[in-house]
Amino acid sequence: MIRERPATPVRRTVRSVRPGLLAAAALAALAAAMPWLGVSSYARTLVYYTAYFLTLGQAWNLMSGLTGYVSFAHGALAGIGAYAAVIALNAEWPMAAALGAAAATAVLASLVIGATSLRLRGTAFTFATLFFQELVLLVVRKLRFTGGPGGIVLSEILPVWLPHVMMMVLAGGASIAVALLCRSRVGVRILAIKNDEVAAAAVGIDATRLKLVLFCASAGLAGLAGAAHGLFAASLYPDVLFSVDVSLVALAVPLIGGVATAAGPLAGAVVYVGIREVLQSIAPGLHVTIVGLLLLGVVMFMNEGVAVAIGRAAARWRGHGGRQRARAAAGDD
């Protein structure tokens, strides 16, 4: 977990990396094995959506969380990935090629935004992403090979476990990649850009290139998440795929959980799916409003996110408990 205060002992973060990564990999493997463990399809769907939102959230985190350049386009990038994968599979491409096409199309699409606006600082990038969603929706509804406003259907019937396993692999892989990136030298460079881009450039960091590479990686990941979800959903409707909701998920998940951390989006995805499930039975229409209020509350009062806030509360609780408990906790490590 990257902290802006240099006072954090470095050794401890390094030591805590490996068990965390192992736990993440084990969790992803367990979740991926769900179709064979006799779990109810309801529980499996919940886990699936948690992983889908987690992957989208990590994709957003990779660009916007780390650099501070807010993107509203990740829903659209995922939608592009979904379309590319389904169109490729309908054209009898092998699965690997279809997934490759999904990632590549999303990366190419992201270059439209990146090339025009990443040279600039501040709001230009955010604006460019904001219009992107609308632009893609309009274009997809117009083109013939995307099925126009009626959308397209995946002609091949895939086994149920396939999109599930894919999504788990993506979610686990993305989380581990973000965790590793945060601790690498590149991660430090990115942090420098976020804190002060002019100063970062002055010490020789090529900010524009780094931002562009990150945005492409982030778009590719979003495209893959969209592709896996396209196989899960099997029928794509442009108005659903390119609705504001998906982009909202992509940024709400890391913001609620904790921006620029690897664990934050996991907490955010669990909270998000939980809220959605609870509200669906109590007040189905209020889901968007509640998520908005939650987002507002988190940004205003808990701007590091739920995960960091809980961690800090736990640390404080440990501190109040006197030395004995602290020593006991240290001994557990």
Nearer to other proteins, 72 or 232 (CB): 72
Nearer to other proteins, 149 or 321 (CB): 149
Find the shortest distance in angstroms from Cβ 263 to other proteins: 20
Residues 6+ apart with CB under 8 A from 5: none
Which CB sits closer to other proteins, 122 or 321? 122
- Residue closer to other proteins, measured from CB, 39 or 290: 290
What is the rounded distance in angstroms from the CA atom of residue 39 to the CA atom of residue 187? Answer: 38
Looking at beta carbons only, is 88 or 140 nearer to other proteins?
140
- Smallest separation, CB 91 to other proteins (Å): 25
Q: Tell me what percent of the chain is helix, strand and coil, each rounded to the nearest 5.
A: 80, 0, 20
The least distance separating other proteins from the CB of residue 167, rounded to whole angstroms, comes to 25
Count CA atoms closer than 13 A to 291's CA, side-chain side: 30
Point out which residues bind other proteins (CB under 8 A). Answer: 68, 70, 112, 115-117, 119-120, 122-124, 126-128, 130-131, 134-135, 138-139, 141-142, 244, 248, 251, 255, 285-293, 295-296, 299-300, 303
The number of CA neighbours under 13 Å toward the Cβ of 11 is 1
Query: Which one, of 112, 228, 19, 310, lies nearest residue 236 by Cα?
Result: 228
Q: How far is the CB of 193 from other proteins (least distance, A)?
A: 13
With 0-12 / 13-18 / 19 or more C-beta atoms within 10 angstroms meaning exposed / middle / buried, residue 4 is exposed
* Residue 261 beta carbon to other proteins: minimum distance, rounded to whole angstroms: 15
Buried b or exposed e, range 8-41, using 16+ CB within 10 angstroms: eeeeeeeeebeebbeebeeebeebbebeeeeeee
Cβ-based nearer residue to other proteins, 70 or 177: 70
Q: How far is the CB of 186 from other proteins (least distance, A)?
A: 21
